[in-house]
Structure formats: C-alpha cells, structure tokens
Structure 1
Amino acid sequence: MKPQEASQCCGPIDDLLDAALFKALGEPTRLKLLSCLAKCGRPCSVTELTECCAVDLSVVSRHLGVLEKAGVLTATKEGRTVFYAVRYQHLTEAFRGLAKAIEGYRPKRRPAKT
C-alpha cells in the first residue's frame, strides 16, 4: 500500500494515536513529574511534586494540569490541596493497545537485500 492510500483508510492505530497524550508526554518536565509520581506509587500534592523539578510551583501545577487533561493523571482536591495520581490502568491499556496495533501492521516477511 502506498502512503497516500494508507492515509485515506482507517485502522485501529488511528484511534490509538492520541495526539494529546503524546503532546503531554513530549515535554521533559512533565515526563519527570510522571516518573516521580509513578515511582512514589501514591497520590502526591503539587507541593510535594515541586521537589522533583527545578521549576516553580505554578509551573508544576500547569504541567500536572496538562497531564490530567490528557488522561495520564487524576486530580483529587482535599481542602485547598490537590493530589495527583497516575492512571496506571489507563496508561498501560493505551500503550498495550497501541503496541498491538503497530505489531499488526508489521510486514510478515522481510524484503530481500540487493
């Protein structure tokens, strides 16, 4: 199939390639925050997460908001404090589904070298 034909047809990969998710994960500070949260294994406050990064609390808060909007994190407000947690199941299902879709497009045999 030619690239132009491939771009015109739909497949499972089209629904799984979530631009908002990849945009959210495509920023180094957000990746560091996600990594810190995942390793903590529990919900953390914005103040706690500020200790993971060399940026101000307001910047950390904005980054966490982007991750939440993309479905990577959940936010729970307790009084004036917001706690963020990784949506482990959502992320693992999203990446497993994408990996399975990509695997489905892999050529069955390799072309001969010339």
Structure 2
Amino acid sequence: MKPQEASQCCGPIDDLLDAELFKALGERTRLQLVSCLAKCGRPCSVTELAECCAVDFSVVSRHLSVLEKAGVLTATKQGRTVFYEIRYKHLSEAFRSLAKAIESCRPKRRSSKA
C-alpha cells in the first residue's frame, strides 16, 4: 500500500496516536518530572518536585499542568498544596494499546519456500 492510500485508511492506530500526550512527554524537564514521580511511587507536591529539576518553581508548576492536561498525572489539592501523581493504569494502558496497534500494522512476513 502506498503512503497516500494508507493515510486514507482508518485503523486503531489513528485513535491511539495522541498528539497532546506525545507533546507533553516530548520535553526534557517534563520527562524528568514523570521519572521522579514514578520513582517516588507516591503523590508529590510541586515544591518537592521542583527539587528534582534545575528550573524555577513556577516553570515546574506549568510543566505539571501540561502533564495533567495530557492525562499523564492527576492533581489533588490539600489545603494550599497541590500533589501530583502518575496515572499509572491510564498511561500503561495507553502505551500498551498503541504498541499493539503498531504491531498490527507490521507487514506479515512471507514464507520463503524454494
């Protein structure tokens, strides 16, 4: 199939390639924040997370907002403090589904019979 024909087809991969998710994860500081949160294994405050990065508190807060909007994190406010946590199940299911969709697009190997 030619690329132009393929682009006209619909498949599960089309719905799973989430530009907002990839844009959110496509920035080094945001990846550091996700990594830090994953390794902590618990909700962390913006202040705690700002210690993981070499950027200003307000910049960390904006990055966390982008990650929350993309569905990577959840935010919970306790008093004046906001805690962020990775949406483990959502994120792993999104990547697992995308991996399956990519695999299903792979061309079938032809058997080489002589």
For normalisation by structure 1, the TM-score amounts to 0.95
User: Residue 13 of structure 2 aligns to which amino acid in structure 1?
Assistant: I
Match in the other structure for 2:63: 63
Q: How many residues align?
A: 111
User: Residue 77 of structure 2 aligns to which amino acid in structure 1?
Assistant: K
Question: What stretches of structure 1 move > 4 A for 4+ residues in a row?
Answer: none
2:22 and 2:72 map into 1 onto residues whose CA distance is 10
Match in the other structure for 1:88: 88
Match in the other structure for 2:101: 101
List per-residue Cα deviations over 1:80-100 (Å, max 9, x = no partner).
100000000000000000000
Match in the other structure for 2:76: 76
List per-residue Cα deviations over 1:30-57 (Å, max 9, x = no partner).
0000000000000000000001000000
1:75 and 1:33 map into 2 onto residues whose CA distance is 14
Match in the other structure for 2:50: 50
How far did 1:72 drift? 0.1
Partner of 2:35: helix, strand, or coil? helix
User: Residue 26 of structure 2 aligns to which amino acid in structure 1?
Assistant: G
Match in the other structure for 1:26: 26
Instruction: List alignment gaps of at least 5 residues for structure 1.
Output: none
Instruction: List alignment gaps of at least 5 residues for structure 2.
Output: none
How far did 1:60 drift? 0.1
How far did 1:9 drift? 1.1
Match in the other structure for 1:35: 35
1:104 and 1:7 map into 2 onto residues whose CA distance is 16
How far did 1:63 drift? 0.1
Among the aligned pairs, what percent are the same residue? Answer: 86
List per-residue Cα deviations over 1:2-43 (Å, max 9, x = no partner).
100111111000000000000000000000000000000000
Partner of 1:52: helix, strand, or coil? coil
2:89 and 2:82 map into 1 onto residues whose CA distance is 21
How far did 1:78 drift? 0.5
Match in the other structure for 1:13: 13
